[in-house]
Amino acid sequence: MRICIPTTTKEGKTACVHEHFGSAPYFTICDTEKNTVEVIDNLNQHHSHGMCHPMSSLAGKKINAVITGGIGARAVQRLNESGIKVCRAVSGTTESLVKQFLEGGLQELTVKNACAQHGHHS
């Protein structure tokens, strides 16, 4: 399984989750089967609200899930339409969050509960 976590740094397994998916400086992709980590620059981190295009940075990466602090409803919808599950994590390192995800300990995000912590209710 390939899990993408928006991160504030490119420190791999010790990088911390960024507060919002689209504005994260990096995307850290953890492959649980190969036990590898890949860090990608978010080329779209500076965008207007609602204009995030995360799949452009993640194109061809074959992501199965995203773990993020926050994300807009439209981005959740686009990810879900691509078969990608989205879960919320307020804090933690990529390594600890992947473990929590695999154990079923993270809340799944939907169009209805996305971006709620920012006061943007759908």
Q: How is residue 68 written in tokens?
A: 């993020």
**Which residues span the domain enclosing 114?**
2-118
Give the distance, in angstroms, between the CA of residue 99 and the centroid of all CA atoms in the same chain. 15
DSSP letters, 69-87, are S---HHHHHHHHHTT-EEE
Residues of the chain with pLDDT > 70: what percent?
A: 83
- CA 70-73-76 angle, to 5 degrees, is 80
Stated pTM of the model: 0.86
Residues of the chain with pLDDT under 50: 47-51, 116-122
What pLDDT does 122 receive? 35
Strand residue runs (E) in the chain: 2-7, 26-31, 36-41, 65-68, 85-88, 107-108
**Tell me, what CATH number does 80's domain have?**
3.30.420.130
What pLDDT does 115 receive? 67
The CA-based diameter of the chain, rounded to the nearest angstrom, is 38
What pLDDT does 100 receive? 97
What pLDDT does 121 receive? 37
Q: pLDDT tens for residues 21-49?
A: 888 999 999 999 999 999 999 886 554 44
Total domains, the chain: 1
* Cα first-last separation, the chain: 30
